[in-house]
Chain A
């Protein structure tokens, strides 16, 4: 365990150096993705500009929701998305096997030797938008609320990482997993908007089977003092627990899949 932790800085350093070999492309990617998300947010801003609010959420509220969503997603995804989406290919090519014959925890090696620093654009946009929106919404800040904000953000990032880890890990047993990411991103899109505008069955789904409501809506609604459908007073606790719980699930899932790994045949 300690051995794995000690390896992390070495793995990260190696990988960041390989990325810096192509830093032009990396910075361009940051810019393009930041631009793309910005354009999408501008579109949503246009809707609210014309219609005043969306389910009772005005633009500053919406901006905070979008920023929180993007930041939590980026923090969680940099430790999971590309690493686990590509397990499918690593299995096919046999490079996953090469990870298994080393005396390193496969999860540690996989995550940190491929830590995705491509979310620079996302993080810059998200923090900028978050900073602006926090000045616009009237929040009665207290030390407890600040603590909650940070903890909820971490929990949301953990949730993201756990879900994406679980989806990618199925590639160890089912060989194909990319399509599951399409489903994930469908719900991820929903997670950007106030939950109360959706019909009740969908709200239920977003809190249980596809718990992406906890990625942004629930924590931000709690902070803004807005009503949370279905959860009500349980919202703060639920949002803090969601991340660690999913993380636990992901750990068991990973262990189980590893034990049942068959390889690509041969």
Chain B
């Protein structure tokens, strides 16, 4: 199948979400409520202090929104992969003239675009107009945030797919969704930026791949990393993506082998 055909998967995924209009409104509302909750939490936490660990309250409010935007729900992805592998439906994909990983990426990219465009963007606009969000710290940081954003989604996609594949051996996608959610809550920086954590903890988490999902892109946006550091951490992030991607490819080949030879 031609590479140009994969975007069709993304478009189909996007379109399929439009059919559930009530879910769209409800999800947007839910996200709005939670966003305001965390803005309230940080406001209460700061309790009048201007700067804590080099961050101001306006910066933290922007952090909530940006990091929250990047903290995409991987349940659908993990469940898709998990179910396809567990039921053996994945062999149907292997029969078609396409690459399963590529079609999976395209499909869930479609879901990602939908979630950001239709659900998160309105929430961002509402919060921006009511509470106020900060623009990127500088032109460099604004431009640098884009590759970090791409890296963030690819990292999340890889982690999610890995979990989904593990469901093949563990016979449950459900438990893996929750494990990932748990790790991400703490380690991705989606809720608490690494600079508020005790040194030993941020030291460890700062080098784990999870931090590239929410923390680093948001930190770049807010200008917390200077250009040399930005490039360095981008490099490390790429290295992690390559390592995880390699592990994923290996795991995928083992799963395929099991399915084809043993029939799942």
Q: Which residues of A contact B (CB under 8 A)?
A: 24-25, 28-29, 31-33, 35-40, 42-43, 46-47, 49-51, 54-55, 176, 178-180, 182-183, 185-187, 189-190, 193-194, 197-199, 202
Residue in B25, B33, B45 whose CB lies within 8 Å of A51: B45
Question: How long is the Cα–Cα vector from A29 to B71 in the complex, in angstroms?
Answer: 22
Kindly state the separation between the CA atoms of A189 and B68 in the bound complex, as whole angstroms.
Answer: 14
Q: Smallest Cβ distance from A159 to chain B, in angstroms? A: 18
Give the residue name and chain of the B residue nearest to A41 (CB).
B185
Contact partner of A32 among B30, B44, B179, CB < 8 A? B179
- Known contacts A25-B171, A43-B191: A199-B40 contact under CB 8 Å: yes
Residue in chain A with minimal CB distance to B31: A186
Is B36 a contact partner of A182 (Cβ separation < 8 A)? no
Contact of A38 with B182 in the complex, beta carbons under 8 Å: yes
CA distance A43 to B41 in the complex (A): 13
Taken together as a complex, chains A and B put the C-alpha atoms of A33 and B75 apart, in Å, by 14
Write out the residue numbers on chain B whose beta carbons fall within 8 Å of the beta carbon of A54: 41, 44-45
**Given contacts A36-B179, A46-B196, A51-B45, A182 and B185 within 8 Å (CB-CB):** no
Across the interface, A43 reaches (CB within 8 A) one of B27, B30, B192, namely: B192
Complex alpha-carbon distance, A101 and B174, angstroms: 33
Interface residues of B in 24-52 (CB under 8 A from A): 25-27, 29-34, 36-37, 40-41, 43-47, 52
Nearest to B35 among chain A residues (CB) is: A186
CB 8 Å contact bits of B1-41 with A (1 = contact, 0 = none): 00000000000000000001011011101111110110011
CB of B197 within 8 Å of the partner chain: yes
B176-198 toward A: CB 8 Å interface, digit per residue (1/0)? 11110111011000011000111
Among B41, B47, B174, contact of A193 (Cβ-Cβ < 8 Å): B41
A42-B45 contact in complex given A50-B52, A190-B33, C-beta closer than 8 Å: no
Decide if B170 is an interface residue (CB 8 Å cutoff).
yes
Residue on B nearest A194 in the bound complex, by CB: B44
Whether the Cβ atoms of A36 and B181 lie closer than 8 Å is: yes
On whether the beta carbons of B178 and A46 are closer than 8 Å, the reply is: no
Residue numbers of B with Cβ under 8 A of A are 20, 22-23, 25-27, 29-34, 36-37, 40-41, 43-47, 52-53, 170-172, 174-179, 181-183, 185-186, 191-192, 196-198, 201
Known interface pairs A49-B198, A179-B23. Does A189 touch B37 (Cβ–Cβ under 8 Å)?
yes
* Nearest Cβ on chain A to B155's Cβ, whole angstroms: 18
Q: Select from chain B the residue with minimum beta-carbon distance to A25.
A: B172
Given contacts A36-B179, A51-B45, A51-B47, 16 further A-B contacts (CB under 8 A): A24-B171, A28-B175, A32-B178, A33-B178, A36-B178, A40-B182, A40-B185, A46-B201, A179-B22, A182-B29, A183-B33, A185-B30, A186-B34, A193-B37, A193-B41, A194-B44
Chain B residues with CB under 8 Å of A199's CB are 40
A50 to B185, CA, bound (A): 17
CB distance from A51 to the nearest CB of B (A): 4
Chain B residues in 8 Å Cβ range of A182: 23, 26-27, 29-30
Give the distance to chain B from A57, nearest Cβ to Cβ, in Å: 9
Contact status B46-A51, CB under 8 Å: yes
Min CB distance, B141 to chain A, in Å?
25
List the A side residues contacting B27 at CB < 8 Å.
Answer: 179, 182
Point out the residues of chain A lying under 8 angstroms from B172, CB to CB: 24-25, 28-29
